[in-house]
Every structure is written in structure tokens, then in C-alpha cells.
Amino acid sequence: MLAGCAGSLENPERFDGGTQAGFVCSSLGKQAKAEVVVPRCVTGCHSAAIHQSTLDLESPGVGARLVGVVTSVCPPRVRVDRADGGTLQELITQATPTCTEAMPPGGGLSNGEISCIIEWTRNLADGGPE
């Protein structure tokens, strides 16, 4: 009897309880989405349930909601752009961005976290994994 098979490469969600490695940023050596974006940007602002600026950073497929997508608060700029980083990069790196306010509200991202988010968004812009 073959009950409870471990899974195969055709169904990787069956390994380690569904945990799959995401993009690891070199600046911190952490999984960008799981260890930086989710704890610093999702709770209360950009979750699957709460979409500040119509942005969900929690659900799968975040690249499709970021790369080349026009912002809802700073049109015609895009959220993530390979050329200049887009509004997301500006909002996390500038104390007084040209449109709206710095993110997260009240600041608080370390230089390493900022670098990690920038690495992650460049990876997404290049078609890389979350």
C-alpha cells in the first residue's frame, strides 16, 4: 500500500509541508518576501485582506501586481520599473518622495531591508521568483 507518498518534482508543495524557497537577497541572506516584505510591509497595509493603494504583497503572483503596473496614487508612474526602481523604490528610500508619503509609514526599514527589497523587485522585474 502506498499511502502518504512524499511527493515528486511535479508537486513540490508536498515537500516540507508546502514550504518553497523564495528569492534570497544577498544583502541580508534572507528570503526577501517571507522574511522582509511580509513582516515589514504586509501586516495592516498590503495583505491579501487589506489592500492599501490597491496593493496586495502577500498573495502569490506579486510580481504581476508590481512590475510595470501603474500605481493607483502616483499615475502614470509604475510600481516597479527596472530602469529607475519605480515608485516602490522611491517610497522606501526617500524621506520625502515626489508622490504620497514614505513607506512604511513612520519609516523603520533598515538599510539592509531596503537593499533586500530593491534586490527582490529587480529580481521580479527580470522575471525571477518571488
* CA gap 106, 86 in Å, rounded: 20
CA-to-CA separations, 38 to 60, 108, 130, in angstroms, rounded: 12, 14, 12
**Series of mean pLDDT values for 10-residue runs along the chain (130 residues):** 43 43 93 94 84 88 95 91 90 91 87 96 94
Tell me the three state secondary structure of residue 79: coil
- Each residue of 64-77: pLDDT tens digit? 999 999 998 888 99
This model's pTM is above 0.75 = yes
Cell numbers placing 62: 506579486
